Chain A
Amino acid sequence: MQEEIFISGRNIPHIDPVLEVWHFPISLYLFLGGMAAGIIFFASLFTIMRKEKEVPTAVKGAMIVAVVAISIGLVALVYDLTHLLYVWQLYMTIRIESPMSWGAWVLLIVSILSFLWVFSYSTEMFPKWDWKFEFLKKFQAYLIENRRTMAMILLPLSVILGIYTGILLSAFNARPLWNNAILGPLFLTSGLSTGAAAIILFSKNHFEKTLFTKIDLALIILELGLIIHMFMGMYAGSAVQLEALDILMGGEFTVMFFVFVVILGLIFPAMLEGVELMGFKVPSIVPALLILMGGLIFRMVMIEAGQITRYLY
């Protein structure tokens, strides 16, 4: 029989017996960041296509959700840092090789811009609110004028925001579960899908709801396809990747993944949405919530399971 053991008593907190440096706050941020990216994407897309009037929630209400999501996500991220007092170092430099670095910068720009976006819509959404200061009102007018420019900046940035977390994880060749090129597009698709679900959730406009239900359905199908693609890739990979696949297919996370993420988080809502589109009355809140839940749990599973997979020991 084979034995591979530590004999010098190594038992470093959070590293042994399995790596667990990143926990729930990170998964939460990934989810919120992805959802916000999705919302911002659609908001900017429709603004650029000059169809913002047709999708009021997407550009207004959902953007508030996006801003809130990003804020909570940022708090979660910073909470997870262990060397908190030096967090400003992150913005002293930009390192192209590190997805975390340019991702942090993108996050910064996106959060500022989306905050300004909401600010620009604030009078429209809350007519009773009066910005007392003159320069604020002037600033708001300026923003409303340049909203399309903002959208044009935000569109690519939101894509980056949605995809960079996946690229960040896939760059870690030390974690076989993450180390595949599909993860980036998969996270983006998942982010867009959860963003669309959020819009459906908050929308009161029937046209908007139907439109996004269609978009969401397409995204879910795409996402399922990417997941299958990822599995096939891992199945054809090296021993460590097969082991990684095993965690999802036949190990501790199988139930979690398949029940909550795939079935309840993707397939079932997709069916519900399909049925809804066919004309049956389905409370649209249900698939939306399921998709959101599925997105969150998907991130949680990936973070936890990914840290368990390793090359050695």
Chain B
Amino acid sequence: MDNSRRSFIKISALGASGIALSATAFGSIGPNALTENNLLAKSAKNLKRTATYCEVCFWKCAAWAYTDEDNNIQKLIGNEIDPHCYGRLCPRGTGGVGMYSDTDRLKTPLIRTKIDGKDTFREASWEEALTLVASKMQGIKETYGAESMALLKHGSPGSHLEHLFKAYGSDTVAEPAYAQCRGPRETGFALTYGAWIGSPEPTDIRDTKCLVLIGAHIGENMHNSQVQEMSDAIDNGATIITVDPRFSTAASKSQHWLAIKPSTDIALLLSWMHVLIYEDIYNKEYVKQYGYGFDELKKHVKNFTPEWAYGITTIKPNDIRKTARVMAAAAPSTIVHPGRHVTWYGDDSQRERAIAILNGLLGSWGARGGFYFKEKIKIPKFPHPPYPHPKWGWEEIGEKYPFAEMGITSEVIKASIPGGNDKHPIKGWFVAGTNLVNTVPQREMIEKAIDSVEFIVVMDTMPMEITGYADVILPECTYLERYDGIRSATNREPSIALRMPAVEPKYDSKPAWWMAKQIGEKLGLGEYFKYDDFKDVISWQLEQMGSSLEEMEKVGVKKFKRKSGPMFLEKGQPYEFATNSGKIEFYSTELASLGFDPMPVYTSHDHPEQGFYRLNYGRSPMHTFSRTANNPNLNDLMDENKLWVNPKVARIEGLRNNQEVWLENQDGIVSTFSIKVRVTERIRWDSVYMYHGFGHNNKKLSRAFGKGMSDTQLITKVSIDPLMGGTGMRGNFVKFITENPHKETEV
């Protein structure tokens, strides 16, 4: 990496301008210590609460931040009336105080410079940093066109920057959450029902009678209201069926756990369809009224018997039949959950199509206990001049993939490499709120792109790996220190939530809206930012909606009445789906017209050879991947991930519990850090499992550096979904290395 233009700056040479604020100083030893009761009573009396909504993950639960007299945030409690959390924040939300108090936070703007021939960062003022960003962006606009500046984003800061970019003339926007996560399910369901799943998922879990989780691990993912509703469902005696090669927490609460062989899920889904159709237990009325292409489907699944599926999936035919019958008996209050991170093997849109079709056969779309019709309220747009029309944008970059409905991050990255996309070259990156290198697979490609791009500006709260590659780092303040757009998410009823600062920004960090405005003004786009404080924007928007800032400050969350009609379909109610045929397409006309399989087929995928194990990864309820790995409160719960290894495998490979191992994948990539082995029965013998988001390589993350292993580093083989460009990442195989392979080289 020494001769690259943009080497990864590992060791910082920053000055100590960030005053290290100690974590909550508890009081001195000795006669000064009041009794615990007094201390707590004292702080409880003087706590002030402000409304906010959480940014630790995408669920955006509304919460109250309690601040004490010294302007320290004491605790975060969920907003009682919020349909995302019902007053109960998840562990990451509760631990959000750590995001604020983390002393490793980015403190001042940083600009890349060379000292003694070595790349390092120097502190800069906001004026200098933002002027540099604006001038670079202007330069790219003049030389290549604004389209060649890409925005790679995630979360709330994204919306402010998207506005800036659109005003600037660029529609080259992508977020990893699409092509590296949920993209395929949006495509799969859009092709079937003409509607996205979206976030939060419109699953009526609390009234369901049967919840089928195939590749979803509710309980380990802390999708707040879904976990709460699953608990309600358990109370109501709902049956849970889990399909997972790993014994997930959800599997432990299921009446049926189908321990499927990895990568064979489509076979199981097709076989379920076969049972439902040929045993005549599908929802006939629903299919008759709303379905299109049922006869083609019936013909298609004729040979996909449970016996056929047994040979592929290793799930006994009896179990396949039994579970299909359970699903049918509970229909239409059955949910075959679409999952969320579904980029696995490259045929993921088709697998999601299969899930959508299955739901259609059961009649659960639009049924109580199935999927409700979600609705959200539109937030009025603050007036600004019309955006210019860019010549090309994310759509053109992803044009190879006809069903992509958002920017494909991997394609944007490819287009940043010279020769990667001659028609739509990318020359500059603005990365906000995403630790790109730990999120997108194929690190070599990313590093090549980073090397080729002319300018990278990174906006983040923490010194994540991606900041090591930046030319300019802009320190963003956390969600607890700023105003942001009003939250309006789809749900059973429309609701809005306010985010206002609980405390002043720490160090020299600033909110994203301020940065966007400054950059915009420097680019001559001041007309698009006709406000001094984002507070005024929110106030205006709330007034347009019949509310006010004062009201929202008091309640935090406001609900509105549905306008789009009832949540569920009435029996026999005519309904037009936004598909070509106006109906639920079991046979997809769109896919057929473009030459793709109109109905899902099973294709077999690679399996690991002897000595190799499939690398599986997932979530832990205590962390939001990289974002929280350094958070003091959450790091306390879990500071590293472990590698789940089956006891039989451990015996064969000679591994002991808590032994440190390194992994090498099929392409010869060796992990930088080691990981401790957890010998457990919960994982299948052909796979290993670890939580995603660890193995940080930036020394400035004092708590997270070197802890655990990064699975992304080992994901070098991706299977691209031909429909929407999603990167299937579960096809990588690893083998164990028990001796440190990096002994000669410095880590």
Contact = CB atoms under 8 A, between A and B. Distances in A.
Q: Indicate whether A and B are direct neighbours in the complex (CB within 8 Å).
A: yes
A3 interface: yes
Given A1-B647, A85-B30, A85-B31, A9 B679 contact: no
A8 interface: yes
B681 A1 contact: yes
Contacts of A8: 622, 637-638
Interface of A: 1, 3, 7-9, 85
A9 B30 contact: no
Contacts of A9: 636-639
B30 A1 contact: no
17 contacts: A1-B647, A1-B679, A1-B680, A1-B681, A3-B680, A3-B681, A7-B638, A8-B622, A8-B637, A8-B638, A9-B636, A9-B637, A9-B638, A9-B639, A85-B29, A85-B30, A85-B31
A41 B679 CA distance: 56
Interface in B4-37: 29-31
Contacts of B636: 9
A19 to B, nearest CB: 20
Contacts of B622: 8
Contacts of A1: 647, 679-681
Contacts of A85: 29-31
Helix, strand, loop or mixed for chain B's interface?
loop
A1 B637 CA distance: 25
Contacts of A7: 638
A293 to B, nearest CB: 37
Contacts of A3: 680-681
A7 B679 CA distance: 14
Nearest to A5: B678
A84 to B, nearest CB: 9
A1 B638 CA distance: 23
B626 to A, nearest CB: 18
A286 B681 CA distance: 57
Contacts of B30: 85
Nearest to B30: A85
Contacts of B31: 85
A273 B88 CA distance: 72
A73 B145 CA distance: 82
Interface string B612-646: 00000000001000000000000011110000000
B27 to A, nearest CB: 14
Contacts of B680: 1, 3
A191 B577 CA distance: 89
Nearest to B637: A9
A7 B678 CA distance: 12
A9 B680 CA distance: 18
A148 to B, nearest CB: 45
Q: Which 7 A/B pairs are nearest by Cβ-Cβ distance?
A: A9-B637, A9-B638, A8-B637, A1-B647, A85-B30, A9-B636, A3-B680
Given A1-B647, A7-B638, A8-B637, 14 more contacts: A1-B679, A1-B680, A1-B681, A3-B680, A3-B681, A8-B622, A8-B638, A9-B636, A9-B637, A9-B638, A9-B639, A85-B29, A85-B30, A85-B31
A170 B34 CA distance: 34
A1 B647 CA distance: 8
Interface string B630-673: 00000011110000000100000000000000000000000000
A9 B621 CA distance: 13
A7 B639 CA distance: 11
Contacts of B639: 9
Interface string B469-487: 0000000000000000000
